Amino acid sequence: MEVSAIMSEPVTIDKDQRLSYALDLLDKKGVDRLIVTEDNELKGILTYADIADRLGVSKVVAVSIGRLHVSSAMTDTVITVTPDEDITDVAQLMINRGMSGCPVVDKNGELVGVITKMELSVLVRKFDKVKVSELMTSEGLIIVSPVERLIKARAELLDAGVSGLPVTDGGRVLGLLTERMVAEAMARFSVEVPDKHRANQVRQIRVVDAMLQQPPLTTPEESLAEAVEKMLESNLNILPVVTEGNKLVGVISQTDLTRFVANKFKVPESE
């Protein structure tokens, strides 16, 4: 299957637009990235992770999001693909490069679409015989406490290169924290707290102030089809995997699903 069959319409934004407008546009369009342009020329990518990273920089904390521009937060190194590339090759590219999506350009270099892990995940909806346990990540899980400082949790998200963190207490799932939630919480903080108090008060923001409480959950025995449906319905890129009593045993993410696509829809053999 070629990229052109599943790519979506790109949502673009000028590099000189305000970062606050970009955050509103992401939410309004229900996407996780914007294609940054200047005079209709591709200049970069802006994701929730980029925004969270920018707003979390100590020198920027005292600046309102309304005064920052897209160009100050965007990633300007852009890897593109073409509409005729095979989706399994693109999925492998995303895994190898640690990317969550990329612009699609034609032979003339014109922007014609975007492909992300979300589009790839949709392809997995038909796999109702494959269990979550066969693809989920269960080793080396990173978790956070609801009382942990948000800036510390943000650093853990970015350092680990993961799309979300289960929020737990005693091994039981209480919530979920994603890049989008961090970005939105930091943006609210930059608007609601007066300039002179931001630098001191930013450390008081806790994970509980940003997390999604009672997130959708899946179990090891559920099918990929069921898990993907929950992701799509809730616009999440990761789900905690739990057993009885909401005890965390793993996570299933769009990265796991993208790896499945890259492996030509085959479950990896157990070691």
| Contact predicate 167/238, CB 8 Å | no
Structural domain contains residue 55: yes
Residue 21: count of CB within 10 angstroms of its CB: 15
Residue 53 in any domain: the answer is yes
Tokens representing residue 126 in the block:
């038909």
Helix (H) or strand (E) holding 105: strand 101-105
Distance from chain centroid for Cα 92: 18
Q: Encode 193-218: b = buried (16+ Cβ within 10 Å), e = exposed.
A: beeeebeeebeebbbbebbbeebebb
| pLDDT value at residue 201 | 64
- Number of domains forming the structure of the chain: 1
Identify whether 111 is part of a domain: yes
Alpha carbons 203 and 198: distance in angstroms, whole number:
9
Range of the domain at 103: 3-125
Structure-model confidence comparison of residues 77 and 119, the more confident one:
119
From the DSSP assignment, how many helices (H) and strands (E) are in the chain?
9, 10
- Give 196 or 220, the one with higher predicted confidence: 220
Domain annotation covers residue 208:
no
d(CA 109, CA 55): 32
Q: Identify whether 131 is part of a domain.
A: no
At 163 the pLDDT is 83
pLDDT at 33 over 60: yes
Task: Look at 26-40, 119-133, 199-213 and tell me which has the smallest mean pLDDT.
Answer: 199-213
pLDDT tops 70 at residue 35: yes
Contact 150, 210 (CB under 8 A): yes
> Please, what is the end-to-end C-alpha distance for the chain in angstroms?
29
- 42-65 pLDDT, tens digit each: 999 999 988 888 876 544 455 667
Other beta carbons within 10 Å of 23: 22
Q: What is the DSSP letter of 222?
A: S
- Residue 70: CA count within 13 A, CB half-sphere: 25
Give the mean model confidence (pLDDT) for residues 232-245.
94
DSSP state of 38: E
102 lies in some domain? yes
**16 domain residue, yes or no:** yes
DSSP state of 265: T
Nearest-angstrom CA–CA distance, 34 and 36:
6
The candidate with the shortest Cα–Cα distance to 187, out of 6, 75, 21, 29, is 21
- Whether 180 maps to a domain, the answer reads no
Q: Token digits for 269? A: 């053999």
Q: What is the residue-averaged pLDDT of the chain?
A: 89
**CATH code at position 95:** 3.10.580.10
